Amino acid sequence: MMPRLRALLRLVSLQASYTYERMQGIGIAVAEEPLLEPLAATPERARAARGRSAQYFNAHPFLAGAAVGALAKAERDGEPGERILRLRTALSGPLGALGDQLFWAGIVPAVMGVALIAVAAGFGLGPVAGAVIGYNALRVLVTWWGLRIGLAHGLKVAHAISESRLPSLAARAGSIGAVIVGAAVPWVAAWLLRGTGQSLRATVLVVAGAFLLGALTLRRPLSAPALTLGAALLTLLWRWSAA
Amino acid sequence: MRQLPVLALLLWGTVAGLDLASVLQGLLSRPLVCGSVAGVIIGDPAAGLSIGAALELFALDVLPVGATRYPDYGAATVAAVALGAGQPWGAALGPAVLLGLILAQIGGWSIVAQRRVTAWALRHAAPALDRGDPGVAVRLHLLGLATDLVRSVGLAALGLAAVAVASRGPRFDMSTGHALTVVTVAGGFVALISGALRRAGTVRRIGWLAGGMALGVLGLAAL
């Protein structure tokens, strides 16, 4: 199998060996390994490259391919070790911030928001399947693109990414996600509360109360699961005492 | 208690557990997706969708950035659907979601424990790893994968055991069930909206969120 394809497959399980010490470091080493095969003829270089490849690294998992490609190219080009380690450190933050903004704060809420609206509107399982297929196609495509751009540009990969459409897409993704999540709120509330017998009143109270509480606790976020479990416990005590 | 397809649910809970961080991260561990498939497996897709959607509200609050510790909603959703399926969902939704929330927190702790096991192995292998000995990184990686597999199977099994215990216990009356449903859905919206406000960060994005809500209300009123 092509080394590039093997690296892509290994990137799919990048975080399997995640630790709080080296974060994705070992996963990066595993994904980089097939791309370092040309160094096998010079065992000392290969050993040094392997040693460097497992150091601390943390970025967004879908964009880590760009780092894997760039680091492998730098090793193959015979760049000095300190320079390669500096590249590793330099890529970690920006690739993390870009991916978090694009995927975790934008695409994931948007995709799940659309699926929630469609389910609430009565479209059943189809939108859920569509969301999974579309998202995974995009996920693989972005990882593959990252790997390619990294291998093509090596040490200059950060510049190549900044020249691409990704930063502007990431900036817009959050706003799109916010609109879709906002639109999902009344749909899902009306749908989930319709079985309680007081759909309209409950929907208005729940959404308005949640918005108010969310706005009031913006600086000191609440743990919603803990709040819910506490409120449920009080509800049970109230029902038990009224029985 | 209804006869549940335990093996299929265990397998699906495990797949969802692995998808959370170790393999793919392809939305399979999202409660809406996980709940839908669990509903199909059990033969009650509507319960899967509604319970999955309610837990999805909580999951949308989670931002898995850097070393953040977060709940694992995958196997928790499978167990929640197994508990709530086949019942009138206005009353079953609340108790099922509460079970899901508890299991998701346990799942979050199990991720930390699993990563500590990998870190322990890493500390032992660090000199060989830093020397660049061949095969060390792959062995550590496979160990991480195997421990996450064990964690995911264990969490899915714990969830199904909790369902078996809860199903044998006393049932809530209809009005208590309804009250718990309102409480859990309200909690879900607190999670969703406060998460969205926090993520929005700027007044402009909060405006987008409010605009989206207005659009949603208009769309709902139009139907």
CA-CA distances (angstroms) from residue B28 to A198, B35, B40, B46, B52?
33, 10, 14, 18, 12
Q: Please determine, for the modelled complex, whether the ipTM score is greater than 0.90.
A: yes
**Cα–Cα distance between B187 and B177 in angstroms, integer?**
15
- Which of B182, B203, B206 is the best residue to mutate to test the A interface, defined by the most A CB atoms within 10 Å of its own CB? B182
First to last CA, chain B: 39
The minimal CB distance from A228 to the residues B101, B140, B194 is found for B101
Q: Determine phi and psi for A57, rounding to 5 degrees.
A: -155, 140
Task: Count the helix, strand and coil residues of chain A and give each as a percent rounded to the nearest 5.
Answer: 80, 0, 15
A227–B187 CB contact, under 8 Å = yes
3-state secondary structure of A169: helix
Token representation of residue B206: 């909060």
**Cα–Cα distance between B206 and A95 in angstroms, integer?**
25
Local structure of residue A18 (DSSP, 8 states): -
**Cα–Cα distance between B46 and B60 in angstroms, integer?**
21
pLDDT digit string (tens) for chain B, length 223 residues: 568 999 999 999 999 999 999 999 999 999 999 999 999 999 999 999 999 999 999 999 998 887 788 999 999 999 999 999 999 888 899 999 999 999 999 999 999 999 999 999 999 999 999 999 999 999 999 999 999 999 999 999 999 999 999 999 888 898 999 899 999 999 999 999 888 888 776 777 788 999 999 999 999 888 8
The minimal CB distance from A19 to the residues B53, B119, B188 is found for B119
**Cα–Cα distance between B140 and B148 in angstroms, integer?**
12
Least Cα separation, residue B7 to chain A (angstroms)? 22
Sign of CA dihedral A133, A139, A141, A144: negative
Q: Is the Cβ of A220 closer than 8 Å to some Cβ of chain B?
A: no
